[in-house]
Amino acid sequence: MLEIRFHGRGGQGAKTASQLLAVAFLDAGRYPQAFPEYGPERSGAPMMAYTRIDEQPIRLHAAIIAPDVVVVLDPALIREQNVTEGLDSQGLLIVNTGRSDPTISLSDVEGSVLMVPADEIAQKAGAKHANTVMVGVLAALLGEPSVDQLVTAVDEVMALLPESARDHNRKSVQAGYTYGVSALRVLDDTREERRVQSGLQSSSAAVAVEGTPFARPGAMIRPDDYPVPLTGGWRMGKKPAVHLDRCVNCLLCWQFCPDGAVIIQGNMFLGFDYDFCKGCEICDAVCPTQAVHMVSETTKVGAWGELKEVPTS
């Protein structure tokens, strides 16, 4: 049995990827099972999707806890979720490096790691999301299903999308497959070169101890129950930052912020409250002087988001 876990956010196509792979594997003569695991049902929330493949019909209806392969569609999730959980020395981890630093790596993975600039590949193919690229890469690394079977599966799973979107996804699945074939040559070498970038270690969320009573009666969450961000894993890998030299103190960001995450004192702008910021980018959009910029979560900023250098963009 082959077990695959996809990590993504609502809207990035992890569920579609898991089903696409299932459809293509059925075409290849294997029995598939694909299922999503939702947290809160909303766009941007971290979620997982799974694909199980076997030579016999699959009767198991349990979560995949020891996957053979993990596919990460959004590198920012590595901070929020323990993406390598259950992955052993034979395991395979495929990470979309996204727009962030392509040297991201993980120290605690025993198996093989492949970093894929999947956003870039998808963009070249015209596709919106990296999910189909990652499926192409994965199929190449597994030796099946074939690229033709994947392309047919795109047509079936995305039947309700416009033909142009299907075309872009067919191209991105093919481009992913080609990338995967070439990556087979270098995959083993990457094991030695891994290094940890500070702040990127995986963390596991607080969970109640099995079978023991909760400290408080009833269903409630108090501020001290969870580590930051206090409101959960909302941000999609980018946070607002500010160059104070450019700020004219118009307070438009404060006025428009839906979460009260802009800190002011009197009438003075001070910065951002990362505990409550959900990364909606409205502050960036309304700032008339481009003082606010969305930057990668890993960018070093002051406590309240002050940028040391003015970005060139």
Contacts with other proteins, residue ranges (CB under 8 A): 1-2, 18-19, 22-23, 26-38, 41, 53, 55, 57-63, 65, 68, 92, 112, 140-144, 160, 184-185, 187-188, 210-211, 219
| Identity of the residue, 155 or 281, whose beta carbon is nearer to other proteins in the bound complex | 155
Q: DSSP label at 223? A: G
| Identity of the residue, 29 or 126, whose beta carbon is nearer to other proteins in the bound complex | 29
| Identity of the residue, 177 or 272, whose beta carbon is nearer to other proteins in the bound complex | 177
Angle, helices 163-193 vs 131-142, to 10°: value is 60
| Identity of the residue, 40 or 227, whose beta carbon is nearer to other proteins in the bound complex | 40
Burial 253-289 (b: 16+ CB within 10 A, else e): bbeebeeebbbeeeeebbbbbbebbbbbebbbeebee
* Separation between Cα atoms, residue 8 and residue 76, nearest integer Å: 10
Secondary structure (DSSP) of 13-65: -HHHHHHHHHHHHHHTT-EEEEEEE-SSSSTT-EEEEEEEEESS-----S--S
**Distance in Å, CB of 213 to other proteins, minimum:** 11
**Distance in Å, CB of 15 to other proteins, minimum:** 8
| Identity of the residue, 101 or 155, whose beta carbon is nearer to other proteins in the bound complex | 155
| Identity of the residue, 29 or 199, whose beta carbon is nearer to other proteins in the bound complex | 29
Residue 47 β-bridge partners = 8
| Identity of the residue, 225 or 275, whose beta carbon is nearer to other proteins in the bound complex | 225
Of the candidates 165, 164, 169, 163, the one whose C-alpha atom is nearest the C-alpha of residue 150 is: 169
Residue 111's Cβ-count burial label (10 Å; 0-12, 13-18, 19+) is: middle
| Identity of the residue, 54 or 120, whose beta carbon is nearer to other proteins in the bound complex | 54
The three-state secondary structure class of 94 is strand
Give the pairing of strands 46-54 and 2-9.
Answer: antiparallel
**Distance in Å, CB of 121 to other proteins, minimum:** 19
**Distance in Å, CB of 35 to other proteins, minimum:** 4
Tallying the residues shown for the chain, one arrives at 313
**Distance in Å, CB of 275 to other proteins, minimum:** 24
Residue 219's Cβ-count burial label (10 Å; 0-12, 13-18, 19+) is: exposed
**Distance in Å, CB of 261 to other proteins, minimum:** 26
**Distance in Å, CB of 147 to other proteins, minimum:** 13
**Distance in Å, CB of 43 to other proteins, minimum:** 15
